[in-house]
Amino acid sequence: MRLGRLAAGFALAVLAFASAAKADPYHLRIGWVVAPADLSTLMFLRPDLAPHAGKTYIPELTHFAGTPAEMQAIATGDLDTAALAFSTFALGVVNAGMEDLRVLGDEFQDGVPGYHTNVFMVRNDSGIKTVEDLKGKVLATNQVGSAVDMALLAMLAKHHINDKRDVTVVEARFPDQKAMLSEKKIDLTSSPAPFGFDPGLTAFAHPLFTQVEAMGRSQMIVRAARGGFLDKHRDVMVDFLSDYLHALRYLLDPAHHEEAVKLATEATKQSADLYQSWFYTKDDYYRDPSGLPNMEALQQNIDLQHQLGFLRRQLDVSKYADLSLIKEAGEKLK
């Protein structure tokens, strides 16, 4: 129901943008996973946050259960751009052979000192006190190959727990994991923001470990697109990125915190109380105001992914980054 209302809100926004369009704006197909962590779920709810929308492009947003599914849609040509986990991006290049996949900018980072890190939670009555206690248990991830999946596997590996022999790992949508934990269908949730803040979850569960403890600082999500698309529609993508930066800087401004919370509640149909203490504050993920990814952290994350056996070869991610578009987008704002 929430996704239906969210989609309806996007549809109304798109119609409003379209009515103001001058001539054949490009229909930009954008993938997203979690609202409001993915800023694209908010930036089109107010026309002034995305001034190019409806003029040079029409946003068409599609929801996915995880970034691996987004990457598949990019591979098949059903998406133009998506916010991909570091792990998904690397899998796309190395394992799927998408040599023209490009990192365009930062979406958000996990584990930056003073900012949010994802939590992996267990029931208060589970008897699970240490990571070693997870042996024989059922652990939830949203999708194999996602960023939180890599963090879970990294923590298991640190404690010499084999993810195929010593535990059972199941895929479950983030919104479903709370009920599954409560009903004892799983023993551990992967809980990124905002799910880890849910008072209904924290009433009976607590963190066992965090993502930063598992793998250090993460360039968790990057904005990505394929080179073929960029060759044809570079100007459109620069306009989209310019709108992204415009919306990001507005929402990061403490003076606009209440408006940010209002937009989050509009997008998710959840209580404003869920967002008051963290949304676009230091209790939220770190988002680079210039939209530039932390390439050092990104390389370290991908190196770890290779060490865990998920990549067929090492990847020099700097060769697959094109930051010229986000820099040009920043110049447009000046």
- pLDDT of 152 > 80? The answer is yes
- pLDDT of 53 > 50? The answer is yes
**Could you report the per-residue pLDDT of 69-78, keeping only the tens digit for each?**
999 999 999 9
17 close to 44: Cβ distance less than 8 angstroms: yes
Residue 285's identity, in one-letter code, is Y
The CATH topology of domain 119-215 is D-Maltodextrin-Binding Protein; domain 2 (3.40.190)
pLDDT (0 to 100) of residue 20: 46
Domain 2-110+218-333 identical in fold to domain 119-215: yes
Q: Given 3.40.190.10, 3.90.1150.10, 3.40.50.10800, 3.30.70.1150, which CATH number is that of 2-110+218-333? A: 3.40.190.10
Assign 1 a pLDDT band (cuts: 50, 70, 90).
very low
**Could you report the per-residue pLDDT of 169-227, keeping only the tens digit for each?**
999 999 999 999 999 999 999 999 889 989 999 999 999 999 999 999 999 999 999 99
Distance CA 231, CA 239 (A): 15
Distance CA 95, CA 79 (A): 19
pLDDT (0 to 100) of residue 21: 44
Mean pLDDT across 129-157 = 96
Residue 24 burial by Cβ neighbours in a 10 Å radius (0-12, 13-18, 19+): exposed
Question: What pTM did the predictor assign?
Answer: 0.88
Rounded to the nearest 10 degrees, the angle between the axes of helix 2-19 and helix 257-268 is: 110
Mean pLDDT across 83-90 = 96
The domains of the chain are located at 2-110+218-333, 119-215
**Could you report the per-residue pLDDT of 306-317, keeping only the tens digit for each?**
999 889 999 999
168 close to 138: Cβ distance less than 8 angstroms: yes
- pLDDT of 3 > 80? The answer is no
Three-state DSSP at 97 gives coil
pLDDT (0 to 100) of residue 136: 98
**Could you report the per-residue pLDDT of 240-264, keeping only the tens digit for each?**
999 999 999 999 999 999 999 999 9
pLDDT (0 to 100) of residue 9: 54
Alpha carbon distance, N-terminus to C-terminus of the chain:
40
